[in-house]
């Protein structure tokens, strides 16, 4: 997959909980404008099922714009009552303003994780998995894919509802279905509700504060000449998230060298060695290579500097916005962390005063 790590360098989460959410959705989501997977849905012929044919006599053009979607609350794209038919629903704001994490607990001991991501195109698939299938549902293109978890064999289902063909999507991922029978019905039900909302145009604003990181573009905080300091990357190769909440120079995956700037919000204390960056509380954190972690897959060593920016809100009131500047590569720990600490102040200096 080529994703924020969809939720690459996303393995640089501020907390272990965030890393877990990232890893679960990483199997499907891609949020980079310039990255396409070998198994791109472009090559998948559209099909229509009996269900989609009945409800979709023809393709429709949605009035929702990309700017509308960027400013929307992703946790309001699926009505809680719709998912409640499957079990108890618990919403979480995820780690980025373009995401929503939902836990769904059914009768007995079963539970699944439902992830919603605003992204710039359909999700990627892991190598070896079938290419997504294009389906017309209620006049809207939806890319559908299914997979099995490598560790447990649980069923996963992804539905990408296209707001603009190939360029803007609401991605819905359902993960951890032990029964193998629930993930896809839940994903289909969630996608149908997203389509209903998109067709009505009644998106709920996330009400971002004027000085929030939600209003910034991470790609604008690093110069190409600065990115060129990182070895083994092409500083002109830039991968941007749809919402502007993450940007990568070089590769977009954690198993290849890259430099990234990432915005997150968290209620956890910063992990790592404490330091101060431009007068702000910060921490430097090193993560060694993983040959094949069940959580994030294979990865190169990474060192990041996480800097507290200001209070998050209002949708995630009480949490703290964090700017992460990370370097991933084959270099030594000292070299990676030295580069991260060299580049972090340059990024922070370009941030508006909260």
pLDDT in tens, 179-222: 889 999 999 999 999 999 999 999 999 999 899 999 999 999 99
CA pair distance 214, 95, nearest whole angstrom: 12
- Report pLDDT for 42: 41
- Report pLDDT for 316: 87
Geometric angle at alpha carbon 304, from 300 and 309, rounded to 5°: 150
- Report pLDDT for 296: 53
DSSP string spanning 91-157? EE--SSTTEEEEEEE-STT-EEEEEEEEESSPPP--TTSPPPEEEEETTEEEEEEEEE-TTT--EEE
- Report pLDDT for 291: 67
Spell out the residues 6+ positions from residue 52 whose beta carbon is closer than 8 angstroms to its own. Answer: 135, 136, 137, 138
- Report pLDDT for 297: 60
Is the dihedral angle over the CA atoms 102, 106, 109, 110 positive or is it negative?
negative
Helix (H) or strand (E) holding 280: strand 280-287
- Report pLDDT for 258: 96
Q: What does the block give as tokens for 282?
A: 């910060």
Cα dihedral: 207, 77, 198, 47 (round 10): 150
Regions of the chain short of the pLDDT cut 50: 1-57, 294-295
pTM: 0.81
CA pair distance 213, 96, nearest whole angstrom: 10
**Among the residues of the chain, which ranges form H helices?**
16-26, 50-55, 66-70, 80-83, 183-200, 224-227, 333-349
């Amino acid at each position: 997959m080529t994703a924020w790590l969809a939720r690459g360098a996303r393995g640089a989460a501020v907390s272990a909980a965030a890393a877990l959410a990232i890893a679960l959705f990483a199997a499907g989501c891609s949020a980079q404008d310039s990255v396409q997977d070998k198994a791109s849905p472009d090559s998948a012929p559209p099909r229509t099922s009996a269900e989609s044919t009945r409800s979709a006599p023809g393709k429709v053009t949605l009035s929702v714009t990309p700017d509308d979607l960027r400013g929307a609350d992703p946790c309001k794209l699926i009505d809680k009552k719709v998912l409640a038919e499957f079990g108890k629903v618990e919403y979480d704001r995820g780690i980025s303003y373009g995401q929503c994490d939902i836990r769904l607990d059914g009768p007995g001991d079963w539970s699944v994780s439902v992830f919603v991501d605003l992204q710039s195109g359909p999700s990627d698939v892991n190598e070896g998995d079938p290419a997504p299938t294009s389906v017309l549902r209620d006049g809207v293109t939806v890319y559908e894919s299914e997979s099995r978890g490598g560790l447990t064999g649980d069923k996963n289902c992804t539905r990408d509802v296209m707001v603009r063909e190939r360029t803007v999507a609401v991605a819905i991922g359902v993960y951890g279905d032990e029964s193998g029978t629930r993930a896809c019905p839940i994903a289909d039900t969630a996608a149908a509700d997203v389509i209903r909302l998109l067709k009505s145009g009644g998106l709920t604003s996330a009400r971002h504060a004027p000085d929030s990181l939600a209003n910034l573009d991470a790609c604008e905080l690093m110069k190409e000449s600065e990115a060129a300091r990182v070895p083994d990357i092409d500083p002109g190769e830039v991968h941007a998230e749809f919402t502007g909440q993450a940007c990568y120079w070089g590769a977009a995956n954690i198993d290849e060298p890259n430099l990234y700037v990432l915005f997150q919000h968290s209620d956890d204390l910063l992990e790592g060695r404490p330091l101060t960056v431009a007068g702000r509380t910060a921490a430097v954190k090193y993560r060694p290579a993983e040959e094949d972690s069940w959580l994030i897959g294979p990865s190169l060593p990474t060192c990041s500097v996480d800097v507290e920016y200001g209070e998050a809100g209002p949708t995630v009131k009480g949490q703290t916005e964090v700017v992460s500047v990370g370097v991933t590569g084959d270099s030594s720990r000292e070299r990676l962390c030295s580069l991260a600490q060299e580049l972090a102040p340059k990024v922070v200096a370009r941030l508006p005063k909260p």
